[in-house]
Amino acid sequence: MVNVIKQKDRNELDKKVPTMPWYVDKFINYKLPDLSPSSLLEYVRDYEMFFNWLMAEGISEATCARDIPIEVLEKLKMDNVDHYKMFLATKKENANTKTTISRKLSSLRSLFHYLSQIAEDDDFYPLLKRNVMAKVEIKRTHKPKDSAAKLEGKLLQEIEILEFIEYVKAGYPLSVSRNKQALYSYELNRIRDVCLISLILNSGLRVSEVVNMNIEDLDMKKRLLYVYRKGKNDETFKTPVYFRQDAVEELQSYMEIRSTRYNPDKREKALFLAVANGSKEGKRMTKRAIQEMVIKYAKSFGKPYLSVHKLRHSFATDYYLRNDLYKTQEQLGHASPETTQIYAHLTDRTMAEAIDKRE
């Protein structure tokens, strides 16, 4: 079964790569076995922005990105790189955060490193003779302590997790009792919405993992879900992820009405479904639909800053209090324990207390 998001990103990647210079195509093919299509697509989008800037600034006379010769990269000066950083930081539309700027520069550095250190021409010389990006220092902006500080007070704490689920179950219709359209939509999707939110708050799944889930990925007896984890490029392997007993009842309720309520085509294997306006058949819920659904309930609940990702953080903080750092890392699918340390900073309790606590 193909990862839906990866397939979509792979299709977009296949469309974008031919619009890039030949040396980017070479780099993407080099990286293809090691990185997911989603990651490679981010690279290409970063290069697209950079090449468009080179043309807009007159640094390259080419009229399309594909025609920018590699010699243009060789002749770039540190001043050019500094101006590009300034452009990224001061864009009028969608101004970039420090983290995003660092990532975009890191994408460029990966390309330049490949061209100057790995790729060779027919005479075994590097394709890029001079690498200006080797001089660029990219400061690490993502520190667990800083991330924790930003999340402080913006997550559901212990009892609030149960309160939010209960609110979606029974409190929301009281808040929109005068809005017939909102009530109708709520009643139509209440069981699904409760199930989905409860599942995230009892497993810590990412929204992409929820979107990709199929019916066969659910094992109710073992309380397991099989998901494509971020960063793993193997299309054939799904990682088992446990969910808490608290989500079982909601999952059972949803599975009972999934077919009759959403009337999916027999070939539709998605676990979570939605019926689009004007359609009679339920199809796989999109990432955006899930995000908007969570925001709708969060605003009404009085916590407008909540998002799907913050529900994941809420679970993780709660889980960390009852388990150790490495169990939390495994449950969340973090590549590094350093990322998981956010949750150590989010609580005042010591590691020793957290390890001793169990469900």
Which active-site residues does the annotation give?
206, 230, 309, 312, 334, 343
Token couple for 235? 């299309």
Q: Provide the strand spans (E) within the chain.
A: 218-219, 224-227, 239-242, 273-274, 283-284
* Alpha-carbon span 223 to 148, nearest angstrom: 30
Q: For residue 34, give the 3-state DSSP assignment.
A: coil
* Alpha-carbon span 317 to 323, nearest angstrom: 10
* Alpha-carbon span 183 to 149, nearest angstrom: 37
Pairing relationship of beta strands 218-219 and 239-242 according to DSSP bridges: unpaired
Q: Residue 94: exposed, middle, or buried by beta-carbon count in 10 A (0-12, 13-18, 19+)?
A: exposed
Cα dihedral across residues 269, 226, 198, 220: positive or negative: positive
Answer for the pair 12, 42: CB distance below 8 angstroms, yes or no: no
Answer for the pair 24, 17: CB distance below 8 angstroms, yes or no: yes
Pairing relationship of beta strands 224-227 and 218-219 according to DSSP bridges: antiparallel
**Residues with Cβ within 8 Å of residue 229, at least 6 apart in sequence:** 209, 239, 333
Tokens 């659904």, residue? 293
In degrees, rounded to 5, the angle at the alpha carbon of residue 228 between the alpha carbons of residues 31 and 144 is 80
**Residues with Cβ within 8 Å of residue 191, at least 6 apart in sequence:** 250, 253, 254, 257, 261
Tokens 């394709």, residue? 127
DSSP, residue by residue, 324-356: -HHHHHHHHT-SSHHHHTHHHHT-SS-HHHHHH
